[in-house]
Structure formats: C-alpha cells, structure tokens
Amino acid sequence: MHELSLCQGILDTLETESRKQNFHRVRSVQLEIGALSGVDEEALRFGWEAVSPATLAAGSVLDIVRIPGSAWCFDCQDTVQVEQYYDPCPRCQGHKLQVNGGEQLKIKQLEVE
C-alpha cells in the first residue's frame, strides 16, 4: 500500500509550507489525481485518516479531483482519452499512443488558518 507513504509525503510538504507561509492548521486539501497515476483513491483516503491525526491537518477534508488519462494517437493525429496504460485508441483501435496526461498526483489547493 504505497498510498500511506504518499499521504506521509503530502503531510511533510504541508509542514514545510506551514513554516514558510506561517499557517498552523490545514482545513482542507484538494488533490488532483490522474487516472494513470496508479493511486487507489480509497486506500489514499484510508491512509490520510491514519497519518493526519495529531498533525496540522487533523480533521481536514481531503477533496480528490480525478483527472482523466490522455494520449496522443500517432495514427489519428489527435489527443484521445484513455483509462489505463496499453488501452487502444478509442477512435481507431490503434496502439501507437504516447501518454501525455493523467499521471499526476499534486496538491492543487489548500484551505489553511
């Protein structure tokens, strides 16, 4: 379950930023998670509940925005949406694709005090 270590990394980032930007509490965290990131949303929420108590993010709301996967199809010469790696192009069923979106996990927005 690598989501637990991802949650710890997010908390480490929040603690670093709290020192830089002088906030002491995180009320909500909005994350963007790409469909191709390999992150299990349920496991991430479980991990957040496990690591956030007794931190500046205790009781915070975790808001997850899913970002679809996208790839450039060399046959269609267009960007298409994909749900997982090695999916064929939904238009031409070709496999000459280069992923160009949906792999990210990033902190998009914070509500802090």
Residue ranges of the annotated binding site for Ni(2+) are: 2
Signed CA dihedral, 14, 68, 48, 109: sign only: positive
The distance of Cα 93 from the centroid of its chain, to the nearest Å, equals: 28
Q: Which has the closest alpha carbon to 65: 88, 35, 90, 93?
A: 35
42 CB neighbour count, 10 Å cutoff: 8
List the binding residues for Zn(2+): 73, 76, 89, 92
CA distance 36 to 67: 9
List the binding residues: 2, 73, 76, 89, 92
Signed CA dihedral, 9, 66, 30, 52: sign only: negative
